Structures are given as structure tokens and as C-alpha cells.
Amino acid sequence: MKIVFSHANSFNADTYRMMFAALRQRGLEVQAIDQFGHDPRYPVTSNWPHLVQQLIDFAQPLVQAAGQPMFFVGHSLGGFLSLMAAAKAPGLVRGVLLLDAPVIGGWRATALGMAKRAQLVGAVSPGKVSRRRRNQWADAAEALAHFQSKRAFARWHPQVLADYISHGTVNTLVDGQRKRMLRFDRDIETAIYNTLPDNLEAMLKQHPVSCPVAFIGGTQSAEIRQVGMVLTQRVTHGRIMMLDGSHLFPMEQPLVTAAAIEAALLNLAVAAPL
């Protein structure tokens, strides 16, 4: 099976290297965009239309080369983009797997839209944290120690955190001094949070996704509690699996996540035979 994978906000594709390796060992082929939002051809705007187009443009030649549609798998941000891409370009997508990307609808989407229009979303979204996020250290060792001290990152598999430091930070010069800096621009991360789609339910009514959709969530995901699962239940027709862990369970349990992805995609393949 062939996968187009899309990462969560602030974590570039190489953060998932351990999970990708496990998927490839299982015979799955994985292709992924390095970082959404950093290509000026695809700016971050409200409801992310250009990021969706970035995913479609990335996948188009892969699908053409494969001669068949591919499975779109996405974590958080990447899950939303995968679902929207399936609605916009159904010929590319055989099935969608959402990794802790609960679909926002109902009154929560209405409230989000009002907050965006009133320019208050930055006070309630994760952007209020990301815009002040520390983004530079003396070296990679200091960066690693910093993240190891954070409660959320302390739950990560050590190899995943090492990959994040190796591939998610880069040596650079800041005011003439050599520093280790986050590759994922925190202003872009914040912009992505503050432009979260509030139109998903309306979009799915206007352009229903024709391929099957599945969801894997974390049992301790704060995002699921905040968003709810009503629209996700409807979109997936009950194809829902839960794994131990938080919203970032792919980083906490990469091998378990790879096995769950394989199982979910095998099930989707039954629902969408070639």
C-alpha cells in the first residue's frame, strides 16, 4: 500500500522517521511533505486552502506514477489537510486516515469562526503558546535537555525525540553567534493554529468525501475532549480506533502507531478495493 503522509503542526516529517521505518518494514510505501506553510507559493490563510493545494500538488505526480489513488494519512493538521484534499481532489485518494484529528463541527465550529472574525482566536488557540515558544539554544545538547524537561516531550520515545532534535532543529548564526534553532518557524506555526478551519462541516456537505475515512485517537487526547467526536463519527461511519497516549501518540508509541495504521489501512482497503 502507498501512503501520502502529512505531519502535525510544528513537527516536520522527519520527526516521524521511526514510525515511517516501521511502516516500510511492514511493506507500506510512505511519501511526505517536509514542512507545510514554509513554501511561499502556499501561504497560510484562513481555512488553509493553499496548504490543501500544496498537499494535492505534492500527491498528484505520485498518484500518476503509481497509476492508482493512494491512502492519505495525516496527524492533527495533516489529518485535516488530508480530509480536505480528498474532498477537493477525490481522484487522488483511495482512503483517509486521521491520526488524532477530530473533525470540528456544530457549535464549536461556529464559535471558532466568530473568534477568528473578531480576531480573538489567538487568545484561545494553541497559538497563544507557540508565538512565545523558545526557538533557539546554544547547541543540540541544550535543545535536547530543554525538551526532555517538558512534560509532554518526556513521554516521547527517546529515538523520536532524538530525530526531532537532529532534523527539527538546525545550526544557524544569530547576531553573529552560532545557535541551534527550530526549523519550523514559530510564526508560521502560530498562523496555522490561528487559521484553523471553521468550515469543515459545510465543506463536507457541499463536497462529500467519496472514499472511506478512519480515525485513530489517543485515549488521553485533550484535543478530542475539546472538539468532541460527533462529526468524526459521522465522517468515519464508526471506523474509530483508540491507542494509549496523548494527542502526540505517534511520537510516544511509534511502533504501535505503525501497526495500528497498517490495520486501519487494510480495513479501508476492503471498503475501497481497486
Residue extents of the structural domains in the chain: 2-109+196-270, 117-187
∠ CA 33-125-13, rounded to 5°: 15
Does domain 2-109+196-270 sit in CATH 3.40.50.1820? yes
Work out the pLDDT band at 117, boundaries 50, 70, 90: confident
- What is the separation of C-alpha 166 from the centre of its chain, rounded to a whole number of angstroms? 20
| pTM of the predicted model as reported, rounded to 2 decimal places | 0.95
Is residue 83's pLDDT more than 80? yes
CA separation for the pair 129, 84 (Å, rounded): 26
Report pLDDT digits (tens) over 216-272.
Answer: 999 999 999 999 999 999 999 999 999 999 999 999 999 999 999 999 999 999 998
- Residue 108: all three cell numbers together: 464549536
Confidence of residue 106 (pLDDT cuts 50, 70, 90): confident
pLDDT band at 274 (very low <50, low <70, confident <90, very high): confident
